[in-house]
A and B are shown apart, each in its own frame.
Chain A
Amino acid sequence: MLRQISANVLSWTYLVLVYAFIFLPVAVLVLFSFQDGRLPVPPFNGFSLQWYGAVFADRKLMAALGNSMVVALVSSVISVLLGFLAAYALARYKLPGSALQRGLLIAPMTVSYLIIALGLLSLMNALHVPLSLMTVGIGHVVINLPLCFAIIYASMGDHHINIERAARDLGANDFKLMALVTAPMLMPSILAAFFLSVTFSWDEFIIAFLLSRFDVTLPVEIWSMLRSGLNPKTNAIGSLVFLASVAVLLILELSLFGRTKKQ
Chain B
Amino acid sequence: MTASVTIENVSKIFGAFTALDNVSLDIRAGEFIVLLGPSGCGKTTLLSILGGFQSPSAGRVTIAGQDMTYVAPAKRPTTTMFQDYALFPHMRLVDNVGFGLRMRGLAKAERDEKALGFLDLVGLKASAGKRPHELSGGQRQRVALARALAVDPDVLLLDEPLGALDLKLRRQMQDELKAIQKRVGTTFVHVTHDQEEAMAIADRIVVMNQGRIEDFGPPSEIYMRPRSLFSAGFMGEVNFVSGRVAAADASSARVETPLGSLALPTGNFTASAPKAGDRITLTIRPEHFRSDDKAEGPTVALGEARVVGSAFFGTHYRCHLEPCATDTRALVAHLPQSASVREGEIVPLAVRASDVVALPATGGHA
Contact = CB atoms under 8 A, between A and B. Distances in A.
Interface of A: 159, 162-163, 165-173, 176, 180-181, 184-185, 187, 262-263
B109 to A, nearest CB: 19
A167 B99 contact: yes
B89 A263 contact: yes
Nearest to A164: B86
A161 to B, nearest CB: 9
B33 to A, nearest CB: 19
B53 to A, nearest CB: 6
B79 A170 contact: yes
Given A165-B73, A169-B74, A181-B88, 10 more contacts: A163-B87, A166-B80, A168-B74, A169-B51, A169-B78, A170-B79, A170-B99, A170-B103, A171-B74, A171-B103
A168 B73 contact: yes
B6 to A, nearest CB: 21
A162 B84 CA distance: 8
Contacts of B78: 169
B90 A162 contact: no
Interface string B119-139: 000000000000101000000
Given A168-B73, A172-B103, A184 B90 contact: yes
Contacts of B133: 262-263
A159 B301 CA distance: 58
B82 A162 contact: yes
B103 A166 contact: no
Interface string B86-112: 111111000000011001100000000
A166 B86 contact: yes
Contact of B88 (A163, A168, A187, A263): A163
Contact of B86 (A165, A184, A262): A165
A39 B51 CA distance: 75
Contacts of A262: 131, 133
A165 B100 contact: no
B279 interface: no
B151 interface: yes
Given A171-B100, A185-B90, A166 B82 contact: yes
Nearest to A171: B103
A84 B82 CA distance: 26
11 contacts: A162-B83, A162-B84, A165-B53, A166-B82, A166-B86, A168-B73, A170-B100, A171-B100, A171-B104, A171-B151, A263-B133
Contacts of B90: 184-185, 187
B104 to A, nearest CB: 6
A94 to B, nearest CB: 14
B203 to A, nearest CB: 24
A165 B82 CA distance: 9
A165 B52 CA distance: 11
B27 to A, nearest CB: 19
Contacts of B72: 168
Contacts of A167: 88, 99
A165 B80 contact: yes
B193 interface: no
B334 interface: no
B227 interface: no
B60 interface: no
Contacts of A176: 103
A166 B72 CA distance: 13
B306 interface: no
Contacts of A187: 90
A227 B79 CA distance: 68
Interface string B167-185: 0000000000000000000
B147 interface: yes
Contacts of A180: 99
Contacts of B88: 163, 166-167, 181, 184-185
A166 B51 CA distance: 11
B80 A169 contact: yes
Nearest to A187: B90
Given A162-B82, A262-B133, A263-B133, A169 B73 contact: yes
A185 B90 CA distance: 6
Contacts of B100: 170-171
A166 B82 CA distance: 8
Nearest to A262: B133
Nearest to B157: A169
Contacts of B86: 162-163, 165-166
A219 to B, nearest CB: 37
